[in-house]
Chains A and B, each alone.
Chain A
Amino acid sequence: MTDATADTPPAGPLNSSDYAQRLKKRHDAEWRFRAYGLGAIFIGLAFLVTLLYTIVSEGAPAFLQSEIRLEVTFDKAEIDPSGSGNIDDIMKADYAAMVRRALRDQLGNVGNDRAARAAAHRLLSSGADLQAREIVLKDRTAIGQKRDIWLIADGDVDSFLKGSISRDTPEDRRRISNQQIAWIEKLQADGRLKARFNTTIFTRGASANPEMAGVGVAALGSFMMLVITVLLALPIGVAAAIYLEEFAPKNRFTDLIEVNINNLAAVPSIVFGILGLAVFINFFGLPRSAPIVGGLVLTLMSLPTIIIATRAALKAVPPSIRDAALGLGASKMQAIFHHVLPLAMPGILTGTILALAHALGETAPLLMIGMVAFVVDYPGGPLDPATALPVQIYMWSNLPERGFIARTSAAIMILLGFLLVMNALAIWLRTKFERRW
């Protein structure tokens, strides 16, 4: 036994120098593999960071909007000549003249030259009169009064302030004249021209002017479609999955269905769009551009994913729980609905939310059913025309104005924000419903 404490280990295959070399090789191979893995992750992260940086750096300015503060006189004679608050009069009134007058008052010596006046008027967005009208519509007491309000500046002014239009460009090739620059500087000096947080982008619909364009209508359209998708896809998908997983006999026919469901999950989304166009619009005669059609198409698209996720979640519930319930004399349905389904819930919800997140980001099928429309007003219901966030992004990305480039990135950020919220919801639901067994 004293030998056991000797310093030299006994000779053997595991103590030879050959073995030491092989051991080193094995460790090296492991180290290399870890290095590859780390490298892959870093490359992926680098792409992600680049993408995010591009989007954020392009989109961030769109969240700031140059606005001009003007003292607008809401002329009673113009807006409400009868004094009865007639809505037609209020709608028809020439608010543009009022805000232009306020602007000229602010600038002082504009002169009477038509060209000079037009140049001054171009400092304000062509939507400024709408803003003025909204104030009246919201608050009738403004009629006949003078109000200090922020009005949106023209997109070119915005671009100039954000540095997209350079002062060094020769005047004839610049979208902003020297005179306008002088006015801008005067307004800035008076504290009347400022970059303020942009609410327009969240609230307004489509517009030809970038400074008046927003994703509000598209977001509502997307929301309506998602609601329709959840209401249809979740119950249908879960029910189908439960039937296939728990009740359906295992035969050639159910095998065929299973293969088909798996294949459907891989079908390009535009095919679903064509299907929606052919079936819902042409055959059932549902309106084009309507969220209900979009919702139906997205339902078809999400169903395979939800069914597959639900079946996987049901399979993941340990059979011992099923046995326990059946062994007590629970019927099959009781066992499933009392025990298996609650345990599968986190998986089902996660799968569903991921499928919905996917649907939220889907563009191609919506293009087919005419959701690529110029919609200014909020849809009143699922049958009214609307558009969707990804489609809005697609449309803006095709427009040449500088302002739309920034807005495209901003809309992407908003969409990513929605997706992040949905994924966070998925994680939260998962941890909330997850139980140990």
Chain B
Amino acid sequence: MEMARTMTETKVAGTAPTEAIKFKIKMSGRGVNVHYGAKHALKTVDIDIRENQVTAFIGPSGCGKSTFLRCLNRMNDTIDACKVSGDLKLDKQDIYDKSIDVVQLRARVGMVFQKANPFPKSIYENIVYGPKIHGLATTKQELDEIVEKSLRGAGLWNEVKDRLLDSGTGLSGGQQQRLCIARAIAVSPEVILMDEPCSALDPIATAHVEELIDELKSKYTIVIVTHNMQQAARVSQRTAFFHLGVLVEEDDTANIFTNPRDERTQGYITGRYG
């Protein structure tokens, strides 16, 4: 049953190792179109997102990368004028199907936002909110365990273990963003979507988050939107370049940054765009 989802990829000659790598497709989009009112924001996007890899979406502002990211956990549902068509699947299940509960989908496909947005509550409450509403844990002991596990997972435990009851908004920017990641992994998602998670962070905080992303990919499938091409190069295995609502090119990150096939990709990543 996994056959249809399992592919073998031979890397383009010229990139480092040329052995065949097996991987599973976690999410896939076929012919995805998004309209914002009269605006055609995404045009027939076909993409596969591989399990336990980091896929980066890059492209100039307004190219549709964030829009597509928000399609993956149906965050676009909150916008009235947004119409999504096409085929978007999570493990072979159409996520826009009537039978899919968006609440459950968002638990399976977590999200971390551009601006660190901890709830103005304690660090502890920030983490346990998700598990509580989904009923994943009830006793104090279970919740405590989840809090420690999530904070350790986000590399934040040692920094905050003595002040779990302090406000989450009192942390530094980088810590807040890692708190948001911890909050996202507290509900044990399968996919984590990150929308420019480091755009407001300094280089050191960025490095911490990038290191975290690298560690997280062994357990989760990660999709990250970034304006910082070096970041895409550093953290991702696959890179997709969006331009004017079109998925121009999707390839191994190493290929994209050494030998992109499309001229638009080339122009964008070398700084000749526009």
Hey, which bits of chain A sit against chain B, CB under 8 A? Answer: 249-250, 318, 320-332, 334, 338-339, 343, 435-437
Contact = CB atoms under 8 A, between A and B. Distances in A.
A343 B183 contact: no
A320 B169 contact: no
Main secondary structure of the interface of A (DSSP, over half): helix
Given A321-B117, A327-B184, 12 more contacts: A322-B78, A324-B180, A324-B183, A326-B75, A327-B75, A327-B106, A328-B110, A328-B133, A329-B104, A329-B105, A436-B120, A437-B169
Contacts of B129: 325, 328, 330, 338
A313 to B, nearest CB: 15
A324 B184 CA distance: 9
24 contacts: A250-B80, A320-B113, A321-B119, A322-B78, A323-B111, A323-B117, A324-B113, A324-B118, A325-B129, A326-B78, A326-B106, A327-B106, A328-B106, A328-B129, A328-B187, A329-B133, A330-B103, A338-B129, A338-B133, A343-B120, A435-B120, A436-B167, A437-B117, A437-B120
Contacts, number: 69
Please indicate which of the listed interface residues B119, B129, B130 has the most CB atoms of chain A within 10 Å of its own CB: B119
Contact of A320 (B73, B75, B115): B115
A432 B200 CA distance: 29
A341 to B, nearest CB: 13
A347 to B, nearest CB: 14
- Greatest chain A CB density within 10 A among B78, B169, B183 is at B78
Interface of B: 73, 75, 78, 80, 103-107, 110-113, 115, 117-120, 129-130, 133-134, 167, 169, 180, 183-184, 187
B169 A436 contact: yes
A331 B78 CA distance: 11
- The 10 tightest CB contacts between A and B, nearest first, are A327-B111, A320-B117, A329-B107, A329-B106, A435-B120, A328-B130, A324-B117, A437-B120, A329-B103, A320-B115
B124 to A, nearest CB: 15
A330 B133 contact: yes
A266 to B, nearest CB: 28
Contacts of B133: 328-330, 334, 338
A100 to B, nearest CB: 70
Given A329-B103, A329-B133, A436-B169, A324 B119 contact: yes
Nearest to A435: B120
B75 A323 contact: yes
Contacts of A322: 78
A314 B113 CA distance: 21
A191 to B, nearest CB: 64
B180 A331 contact: no
Q: Which of A250, A325, A326, A435 has the most CB of B within 10 A?
A: A326
Contacts of B183: 324, 328
A318 B117 contact: yes
Contacts of A250: 80
Contact of A329 (B78, B80, B134, B167): B134
A431 to B, nearest CB: 15
Contact of B187 (A323, A324, A329, A435): A329
A323 B130 CA distance: 13
Nearest to B112: A327
A328 B113 contact: no
B78 to A, nearest CB: 7
Contact of A328 (B78, B80, B107, B169): B107
A322 B106 CA distance: 14
Contacts of A436: 120, 167, 169
Contacts of A331: 103
B235 to A, nearest CB: 20
Interface centre among A249, A318, A436, A437 (most CB of B within 10 A): A437
A334 to B, nearest CB: 6
A22 B111 CA distance: 54
B171 to A, nearest CB: 12
B164 to A, nearest CB: 18
A339 B119 contact: yes
Nearest to A437: B120
Contacts of B115: 320
A151 to B, nearest CB: 60
Contacts of B105: 329
